[in-house]
Structure 1
Amino acid sequence: MKINTILISVFTLFCSALNAQTITPITSNINAGFRGLSVLDDRVAWVSGTKGTVGITTDGGLNWKWQQVKGFEKADFRDIEAFSDKEAVIIASGSPAYILKTSDGGLHWETKFEKTDTAYFLDAMDFADAKHGFVLGDPINGKFLLLETLDGGDSWNPVKNAPPALKDEAAFAASGTCLRSEGFLAIVTGGSNSRMLMSPMEDMVWVDKGLPLTNGTPSRGAFSIAFGKHQTIIVGGNYAKDKLPDSVAYVIPGAKAKFKSNTPVIGPAGYQSCVEYIKGNKFLSTGTPGTNLTIDGGKTWVKVDNTSYNVCRKAKRGNLILLAGDHGKLGIFKF
C-alpha cells in the first residue's frame, strides 16, 4: 500500500509539473490557416499560411505585422524558413507550386521556383545552414521530389538521387517538419506506409526504416520528426480521426537515453502533426486535438493544452517557442 501511495504521489507531482507549463494565446486578428513557422531567436519569427498570408514578429510574438503576398492571394504557404527579420523563403503547396524569397522584410517577393504541372506538390522545407537547404515534395514517377539550394534559396535544382517512394506513399504538408536536416537528411512518410528515410546530405545514399505508426490510408502515417540530445521522436496518427490515441508516437533511443523502448508508456492524446525538441529530455508536440509534452524522452506524455494547433517551433538561437494553427491561432509556450 505504501509503495502504491508513493507511486501515485510521484505521478501526481509529475503531471502537476507538466501542467504548470502553459500556452498563452496571441490575438492575431486575422483569419488564415497557419502551417509554416520559423522562429529565429527570442524576438524574430515568421509565420505563413493560406490566402497568401505571411506574418512577422520582432518582439517575441506579442505583435505581428501581416501581409498578403501580392499576386499570390490564393496560395497556401505551407512552410517558411527565416534567416533574419528581412530575409525569408516560403513554399506554396498545390498547383502551381512556388518557392518565393524576400530580402526586404516582405516588401517584395521574388519567384525562385515555379511548376504549373499538377504532379508537383511541395510539402516541407529545411535548411542545414543559411545557404544549403532542401524542399521535399510528393512522389513523381516513383521518387520523392527533393530540391536543393546552395545559395540561400536563390536557385533550386533536383538532387541527383532522390529517395524512392512506395506505391501510394506520400509526405504530409502539415507543419514543415516531415523533413529535417541534422548533418544528414531525414524524411518521414505516410499514406500506404509509414517510413523514415535517411541519407547523408552530400552523397545521397538512402536507407529506410519501417515505422509502426498507423498507416494504410491517405490520412494516416508519420507526420513529423525531431532529433533530441539522447533520442529521436516521430509523431503522427490519423488526421481524419484525430482523437484516436493509438500509434501516434515512436521513440528511437540513443546510447545514453534512459528510456530504451520505442513505444511510449503513455502517448500523446491523439493525432499530432508536429514535434519539436526543447532541451534535455523534453519534447513538445501538437495537433488538432491539442498539445502534449514529455519531459522523460518520450516515455510519458501529458496534454498541456486543448487548443487546435498545426505546428510548434523553438527558436534556433534562444528559448522562444511559438505555436500556430487554423483561423489565425497563435500561441506562446512557457516552460
Structure 2
Amino acid sequence: MKRGLFFLLSYCLISGLIAQEVQWKEITTPVKASLRGLSPVSTTVCWASGSQGTWLKTMDGGESWEHGSIEGLDSLDFRAIHAWDDERAIVASAGSPAVVYKTSDGGKTWEKVHEEAEPAFFDALTFLSPNRGFLLGDPIDGTWMLLETYDGGDSWQRLPISPPAAEGEAAFAASNSSLLVNRNILVFGTGGATSNLHLYSLNDQYWTLFQGPLLQGAFSQGIFGLSFVQDGIVAVGGDFEKPDSRDRTAAVFKNQMAELPNRFPSGYRSGIAYWKQKKLLIAVGPSGSDISLDQGMNWENFSATGFHAVKVSLDQKSIWASGSQGRIGKLISK
C-alpha cells in the first residue's frame, strides 16, 4: 500500500512538473467559425473546418491562412476533415444534407463526392491509408451507418456489416475523434443511453461490443473522443452540459476490460490525441486541456484555454488544437 501511494505521489509530482512545461501557443486566424474539424499535416501545414461551411489552411505554421466557404454552403457545419498534404483534403458535414466534399487544388475548388439521403448525419471520418477510409454516421432504422472508400474518398459504399444501435445510443460529432482505425480494427465510441465501444475486425469482418464506464444515461453524456495508445484505447467524454464536472470523464480499454483512471481529466473533454513520439496524451474541452504520461490512468490540467479538437500531425512532429471563434493552438514547450 505504501509503495503504491509513493508511486502515485511521485507520478503526480512529475506530471505536475511536465504540465508546467507545456502550453498552447494561440494562433490568430481570419475566421470566427467554430472549428471541430482539424487535420495537421506537419509543423507548418494544417487544415481545419467547421461551421458556416468554413475551411482554412496554413502552410507556414499559422503565420498566414487561406480560407473560404465550401461551395457556398455557409449553412453547413463541416466537423470532420482529413488532409493528405497542402493540396488534398476531404470534409464531411454534420447535419442535413449529409455530404462529403474533396479538394485536390489546395481549396480553390471543392467537388461533392458523396451525398446521403435524409435523415443521415455524419459524425466522424478517418483514413487507414491514403486510399482506404471510413465514415461514421448516426443510426438509421436501428443500425449504425458506416461507409468505406478504397480510392481516397472519390467514391463511398456501405461497410459489409454494420452493428445494431441500442435504443437511445448516439455518436458525437464533437472533434472527429470518435472513430479510429489501425491495420487490424475499426473502432467507434458512443454515448446517450449507454457509452459503448464498437470494434470491427478488418480481417475477419465481425463486430465486438464493449460497455464503457464513462458517464452515460443522458443525451449529453458518453464517449466523445478516442485514441489508440501503446496498451489499448483511451476514451474521453463526460457531460457537455456540465463542462467543469470531472465525473467519469475518461476510461482506459485494454485486455478486453475497461478501467477508470486514478485521476480524471478536469472536466468534460471532447477531443484526445496520443503523441507516440513523446508518449503523452492530450485531452481538450471547453474548460481546458489535460495531459497524461501513463496512457490515461492519471491526468493533470495544464491550460484553461478551451478547444474542441486536438490532433497529432501526420509527420508526428507537432500537436495542434482547434475551437470556437476560429481558435487554433499549437503545443509548445516552455
CA distance in structure 2 between the aligned counterparts of 1:150 and 1:244, rounded to whole angstroms: 41
CA distance in structure 1 between the aligned counterparts of 2:260 and 2:6, rounded to whole angstroms: 26
Tell me the residue number matched to 1:277. Answer: 274
Letter in 1 for 2:326: G
Seen in structure 2, the aligned counterparts of structure 1 residues 159 and 65 have a Cα distance that, compared at 3 Å, is same
**Aligned alpha-carbon RMSD (Å):** 2.2
Report the count of equivalent residues: 329
Question: Deviations for 1:184-234, whole angstroms, at most 9, x for unmatched residues?
Answer: 100100011100000122553110000010111110001111011233211
Within 5 Å, which residues of 2 pair with 1:164-203? 164-183=164-183, 184-203=185-204
Letter in 1 for 2:271: C
Worse-matched range after superposition: 120-129 or 3-12: 3-12
Deviation, 1:308, is 1.2
Letter in 1 for 2:179: L
Question: Deviations for 1:126-154, whole angstroms, at most 9, x for unmatched residues?
Answer: 01001101110000011111111111000
Worse-matched range after superposition: 201-210 or 174-183: 201-210
Q: Is the 8 A contact 2:15 2:293 kept in 1?
A: no
Tell me the residue number matched to 1:214. Answer: 215
Partner of 2:326: helix, strand, or coil?
coil
Q: Is the 8 A contact 1:60 1:320 kept in 2?
A: no
Seen in structure 2, the aligned counterparts of structure 1 residues 25 and 203 have a Cα distance that, compared at 3 Å, is same
CA distance in structure 2 between the aligned counterparts of 1:7 and 1:138, rounded to whole angstroms: 40
Within 5 Å, which residues of 2 pair with 1:144-293? 144-183=144-183, 184-253=185-254, 262-279=259-276, 281-293=279-291
Deviation, 1:7, is 8.0
Question: Deviations for 1:52-79, whole angstroms, at most 9, x for unmatched residues?
Answer: 1101111223332111123312110011
Seen in structure 2, the aligned counterparts of structure 1 residues 109 and 5 have a Cα distance that, compared at 3 Å, is closer
Could you tell me which runs of 5 or more consecutive residues in structure 1 were left unpaired when the two chains were aligned: none
Q: Is the 8 A contact 2:79 2:175 kept in 1?
A: yes
Deviation, 1:299, is 2.1
Question: Deviations for 1:247-303, whole angstroms, at most 9, x for unmatched residues?
Answer: 111012469xxxx98221111001001111112541100011111001122222111
CA distance in structure 2 between the aligned counterparts of 1:24 and 1:302, rounded to whole angstroms: 19
Identity of aligned residues (%): 34
Q: Is the 8 A contact 2:251 2:258 kept in 1?
A: no
CA distance in structure 1 between the aligned counterparts of 2:84 and 2:223, rounded to whole angstroms: 28
Runs of 4+ in 1 over 6 A off after TM superposition: 3-10
TM-score w.r.t. the length of structure 2 is 0.93
Q: Is the 8 A contact 1:230 1:281 kept in 2?
A: no
Could you tell me which runs of 5 or more consecutive residues in structure 2 were left unpaired when the two chains were aligned: none
Tell me the residue number matched to 1:62. Answer: 63
Deviation, 1:36, is 0.4
Question: Deviations for 1:152-184, whole angstroms, at most 9, x for unmatched residues?
Answer: 000111112112111111110001110011121
Letter in 1 for 2:91: I
- Report whether the alignment pairs 1:301 with 2:302: no
TM-score w.r.t. the length of structure 1 is 0.93
Letter in 2 for 1:84: D
Seen in structure 2, the aligned counterparts of structure 1 residues 17 and 150 have a Cα distance that, compared at 3 Å, is same
Seen in structure 2, the aligned counterparts of structure 1 residues 135 and 7 have a Cα distance that, compared at 3 Å, is closer
Letter in 2 for 1:269: S
Within 5 Å, which residues of 2 pair with 1:12-91? 12-91=13-92
Deviation, 1:6, is 11
